[in-house]
Amino acid sequence: MIAKVLAETDLPKGSWSILPCDRQAADILVTDDRFKLLSFTGSDQVGWDMKARAGRKKVTLELGCNAAVLIDADTVIDEALIDRLISAAYGHAGQVCISVQRILVHADIYAEVKKKLVAKLKKIKVDDPALATTLVGPMIKEAEAVRLKKWLDKAEKKGAKILTGGSLQGMLFEPALLENVDAKLEIYKDEAFGPVAILEKFKDFEQGIATINQSRFGLQAGVYTQNLNKMLYAWDHLHVGGVIINDVPTFRVDNMPYGGVKDSGLGREGIHSAIRDMQEERLLAIKQ
């Protein structure tokens, strides 16, 4: 489908190619020095392995994340906010690298946010993605759904509370919301890549920012606050590729420099960044 659409544009013939191939054939694209740029989107394990074998070529990696959104006490907890959080955490069955996985809420409004999230989530049904009314469709592979279910069950055995959801039928995973999750567990520290979100309580804004930074990932983070000083504090202290103020970290448009730090990747995606990656900087000096 992508090739068909590109073929209908005014792009010069032969200026692009789409090459379906197996892993062995794709490995040539990684290691052959004739290719000058490698851009990869996927898991952190695969991405960093590719970089280690890529030789002298440029490498851009957009990898995983357990993205967090922080909601401070001065935030209005209306239906629009709840809908935004649910869409960011559970849209596309949570299979988005900047899908909200951790929801940090100030202690003063924690109970209200939890109540409204649970009430809304209980009305959501996992269904056919072809239907316009479907927010949460199936996971991409049954093996991935089983893996996430194991993570969920392990968290519950270790003391986590499942506030709603978590049942599994084939590849259909009921949207799950948890609290009291041990930060050492896979479902917290690794990329869930499924319809699961974790609620956390914080009392101090700086503590909340520090909690976000404890992750080995650093793609994007969202911060809801009306306090300009806190906005600037978040900007100065969050170790992520993008700080999104008064919105979820799932926000992305093509013209922004998009990418992460730490295990989330290297370099930036986006139109301008891609053009720079495909060029070499060169100096011309002329002496009279």
Contact predicate 79/58, CB 8 Å: no
Active-site hit among 65, 97, 191, 200: 97
159 sits in the region (left: phi over 0; alpha: psi -120 to 50; else beta) called left
Contact predicate 148/173, CB 8 Å: yes
Is 8 a residue of the active site?
no
Cα dist. 144→15, 91, 175, 177 in Å? 36, 16, 15, 18
Is 97 a residue of the active site?
yes
Helix (H, G, I), strand (E, B) or coil at 10: coil
Contact predicate 258/241, CB 8 Å: yes
Name the β-bridge partners of 92.
Answer: none
Active-site hit among 62, 191, 200, 269: 62
What is the rounded distance in angstroms from the CA atom of residue 31 to the CA atom of residue 24?
11
Give the other-Cβ count within 10 Å of 161's Cβ: 12
What is the rounded distance in angstroms from the CA atom of residue 49 to the CA atom of residue 42?
12
Residues designated as active site: 62, 97
